[in-house]
Structure 1
C-alpha cells in the first residue's frame, strides 16, 4: 500500500468526525461530565442510604420546642436604631434551644427514578421563619431562635381567646405584603405532625386553612395573613403548567422537590431537592418563561452562559463553610499582630469603659414594651417590621436561593 492509499484510508476513517478545542468554553469538557456523573452518583447513594434508614425522628421536635418555650433561661439581644431622628432600642428574645430546627435541602442534580411521584413546591423570595403560637402570643423566629416579631393571630394558641394549645409552622415571610407563606406544618393545635408523611401533612394543612379562612384576612387581631403554598406532582405537564399558568402571587425564588413520604426531621437531607428557575431546562428538560431566567441570589450572580452544574459547583466552593445547620460562618483567621497591637486595633470593638462611654438619649422605650401596650387593642398592621437578617436557611444556610 502506497502513501496515497494510506492517506485516503485515514481520511475515510476521520470522515464525519470533528476535533473540539479543549480550551473552548462552548465545548463540554470531559472533566465536567465526569464531575457531573460523580456528583449524581454521590447524591443517589446518599438518597438510597436515607431511604434504608428507619423512618423515625431521632428526637421529639415538638416537645423540644415546648420545653424551650417554658424554660425561663432566655437570652436577650438589644439593638439601637434610628427612626425619624429618634434613637430607639429594640429588645429581642432568643431561644438558643430552638436554633437550627429547619428541614433543609440539597441541590437537585440526580433525578430519582420515581421522580413523578415527588412533590414540587414553589418558594417566594423571602426569609424563612419558624412561627410559634403559644399561650396567646404568636412569635416569628429566625434559624438562630431569635424572635424577630411578636403579635396576636388567629392560629390555634396565638390569641387570648385560644391560648391553651400550641401551633408550629415552617414559613416564608414577606415583610412588604405582611404575609406568611406556610411551607410545612410541624404542629397544629397540640397535634404533632412531624411523624406524618409529607403528602398527608400538606393535605391536612390545606383543609385547616380552608376551615379557618379568617387566617387569610388581616385585622387588628391578625395583623399578618397566612397562606399555604401551591404544590403539584413532579410530572413535566404539571410542573410546566404551574410555572407558566399558575398565578403564584409572589416573586419566585426557586422550587423545592420533596420525597412524598418524608417526615419532618431537622437537618439537611437528600430527600429534598432545590433548583433555581433557570436550571429547569438543563436539569429537568422543562422550558421556562423568559421572566424566570434571572438569578435572585445577589451574593452569587450567574456568569454569562454558565451551566447549572457549573454554577452549583462554584456556589458550593464559595459557601462550603457557611452551613447554617452546623453553625455556619467563616473560621476566624489568626492574627499576625502582637497582643498589644491587636488590643489597640480591637479597641473600637470591645466595650468602652464607663468613663469614656457615650450615653445616647433615647426618646422612646424598648420595642418589647411597645408591643405589650399595643396588644391591648391597637392596630397591629401599622407596626413596622424591623429585620436585620438577609440570609435564609433553606439550604445549608446560604442566602435566599439555596433551599
Structure 2
C-alpha cells in the first residue's frame, strides 16, 4: 500500500485512523514459503534470500512446511540494525488478509508474529530479526508518541492508516503520509547521491470547486 500525501486532516481522525512512525530505508515485501524466505523491493528485485522463523520460512530438520504455510509481510528493511520492520500483514499461513480491515490486520500482526519467534535475535535458521512497528490511535497522546517518541530506527515521516481499509496495492487515500523537518530527513527532493536538488517541484490538483 503506497500512501498519498496528507494535505487535509481526515474526518474523524482520532476515531478512524492509526498513526505510526515510518522507518527509513528499503520498502519491500517479505514472502516465506517452501522452506525459504525472500524479500523483494517495489520493482520486484530481490533484496535478500534467507531462512527465517516465519511459517514455511526455513528448512528445519528436513521439514520445510506445507505448501499452505506461506506468508506475506509488508516491511521496511533498516540497514543500520539489520531488521525488517513490519508495517502490515498481507497473508499468514496461507490465510489471505486482503479483505480484512486494517484494524484486524494490525491486531493479527501483533498477536501472530511473536508466536513464530520471528522477533527473536538472529540465529542459524533465522538470519534477520523482525519487529512490529508501534502504532497508535490518532488522539493527542498517540500523535505525540509517534511524532516525538524515542525509536530504535531512523524515522521517515508519519504514516496514517484508516482502520476500516482493506489492503489495496498501489496508491490509496486510505493511507497517508506526513513529513516535516522534525520527523524526516527527506523533506526535499534529492538526487541518487542524496544531494538536495536546486529546483524543488510540487504537484497541484485543480478541484471541481476551482481550488488548487
TM-score when normalising by structure 2: 0.83
SS of aligned partner of 2:114: helix
Rounded to whole Å, the distance in 2 between the matches of 1:255 and 1:171 is: 15
Rounded to whole Å, the distance in 1 between the matches of 2:57 and 2:95 is: 15
Does residue 127 (structure 1) correspond to residue 29 (structure 2)? The answer is no
Count the aligned residue pairs. Answer: 193
Does residue 299 (structure 1) correspond to residue 189 (structure 2)? The answer is yes
Q: Which has the larger radius of gyration?
A: 1
Report what 1:174 is aligned to.
78
Q: In the TM superposition, what is the alpha-carbon distance from 1:298 to its structure 2 partner? A: 6.5
Name the CA shift for 1:242/1:266 in 2 (closer, same or farther; >3 Å).
closer
Report what 1:163 is aligned to.
65
Report what 2:209 is aligned to.
none
Does residue 116 (structure 1) correspond to residue 14 (structure 2)? The answer is yes
Does residue 209 (structure 1) correspond to residue 107 (structure 2)? The answer is no
Q: In the TM superposition, what is the alpha-carbon distance from 1:183 to its structure 2 partner? A: 0.8
**Which 5+ residue runs of structure 2 have no aligned equivalent?**
191-195, 205-212
Report what 2:136 is aligned to.
232
User: Match for 1:265 among 146, 156, 168?
Assistant: 168
Tell me which of the two structures has the higher relative contact order, counting C-alpha pairs closer than 8 angstroms and 6 or more residues apart: 2
Report what 2:210 is aligned to.
none
Instruction: Compare the two structures and name the one with the higher strand fraction.
Output: 2
Does residue 222 (structure 1) correspond to residue 126 (structure 2)? The answer is yes
Matches within 5 A, 1:4-403: 103-117=1-15, 118-161=17-60, 162-164=64-66, 165-244=69-148, 246-278=149-181, 292=182, 295-296=185-186, 299-300=189-190, 301=196, 314-316=201-203
**Which 5+ residue runs of structure 1 have no aligned equivalent?**
1-102, 279-291, 304-310, 318-403
Alignment deviations for residues 269-328 of structure 1 (CA, whole Å, 9 cap, x no partner): 1111111144xxxxxxxxxxxxx266325634599xxxxxxx7xx3437xxxxxxxxxxx
Rounded to whole Å, the distance in 1 between the matches of 2:97 and 2:132 is: 16
